[in-house]
């Protein structure tokens, strides 16, 4: 009966796409809107963030690092997160983290550049490229912004902002807050159910109950479906989501 009531509720109240996604603070377990997340971590939850990072570091001494905000370049309030990175880490560690968490699918190339916030993504061909062997503490300071691109063909573009210095784990990059998984209504049943797959050609989304037999892209044989996951790379190339065991290390 409980399952039946849940399905009836879905039919009465179709889910709505919410481009602005809240995120859970892993330090205090409360949910925060993205526009106040920086203040939450740097002003309201400082002590609990320190406790959280101490636990992640297995109670060893913390080292100086940066609190960095990462977001999708064209959907910054949908896909976003905050992570701490030790200053002695190299840019190759950030590159691996972004691939592990949001991007890696087929071994594509990636690049990380200084950003000019007054100009569109990749508008400056002269942007300084961050060498992956360089230490981030030698190149970055609070207020600086970076552009990250994974796969120059079917690209995923991310923006990084250095929020502040922070004492953090020596063990690894640590995610302290991330957006909730967005819910997309199914086009096959007019939003009565939540989608679980996406057409890579047109980005139309379908739920498990709806057939894609009449999907327009089938006529041109260009339809290919991928699972919907909590990443700005959904529906691109062959991306099916991160390795869950790998995510546990962050």
Closest CA to 82 of 125, 129, 49: 49
DSSP 122: T
Confidence at residue 6, expressed as pLDDT on a 0 to 100 scale: 36
Residue 26's region, left for phi above 0, alpha for psi from -120 to 50, else beta, is alpha
pLDDT of residue 65: 97
Domain 23-181 is found in CATH 3.10.290: yes
Q: Which residues of the chain, if any, have pLDDT below 70?
A: 1-19, 59, 118, 120-126, 222
DSSP state of 182: P
- For tokens 């910054």, name the residue: 76
Tell me the domain boundaries of the chain: 23-181, 183-241
What integer pLDDT is reported at residue 16 of this predicted model? 41
| The predicted structure's pLDDT at residue 122 | 60
Rounded CA gap, 175 and 250, in Å? 6
pLDDT digits (tens, 9 = 90+) for 34-78: 999 999 999 999 999 999 999 888 868 899 999 999 999 999 999
CA 124 from centre of chain: 24
Amino acid 125: pLDDT? 54
Please answer whether residues 223 and 203 qualify as being in contact, where contact means their C-beta atoms are separated by less than 8 angstroms. no
**pLDDT the model gives residue 128:** 81
- 221: helix, strand or coil: coil
pTM (two decimals): 0.87
> pLDDT at position 222, please?
67
The first and second tokens of residue 243, run together, are 């390795």
What pLDDT, on the 0 to 100 scale, is given for residue 72?
A: 96
Give pLDDT, residue 82: 98
Q: What's the confidence (pLDDT) of residue 219?
A: 75
């Amino acid at each position: 009966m409980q399952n039946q009531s849940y399905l009836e509720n879905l039919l009465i109240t179709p889910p709505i796409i919410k481009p602005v996604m809240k995120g859970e603070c892993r330090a205090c377990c409360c949910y925060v809107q993205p526009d106040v997340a920086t203040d939450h971590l740097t002003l309201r939850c400082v002590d609990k963030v320190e406790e959280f990072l101490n636990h992640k570091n297995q109670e060893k001494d913390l080292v100086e690092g940066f609190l960095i905000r990462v977001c999708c370049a064209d959907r910054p309030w949908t896909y976003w997160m905050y992570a701490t990175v030790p200053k002695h880490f190299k840019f190759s560690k950030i590159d691996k983290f972004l691939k592990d968490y949001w991007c890696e699918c087929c071994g594509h190339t990636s690049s990380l550049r200084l950003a000019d916030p007054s100009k569109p993504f990749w508008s400056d061909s002269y942007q300084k490229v961050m060498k992956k062997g360089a230490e981030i503490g030698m190149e970055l300071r609070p207020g600086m912004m970076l552009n990250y691109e994974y796969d120059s063909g079917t690209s995923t573009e991310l923006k990084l902002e250095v929020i502040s210095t922070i004492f953090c784990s020596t063990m690894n990059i640590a995610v302290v807050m991330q957006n909730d998984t967005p819910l997309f209504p199914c086009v096959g049943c007019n939003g009565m159910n939540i989608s679980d797959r996406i057409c890579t050609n047109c980005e139309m989304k379908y739920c498990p109950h709806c057939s894609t037999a009449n999907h327009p892209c089938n006529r041109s044989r260009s339809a290919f479906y991928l699972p919907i996951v909590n990443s700005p790379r959904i529906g691109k190339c062959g991306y099916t989501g991160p390795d869950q065991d790998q995510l546990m290390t962050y």
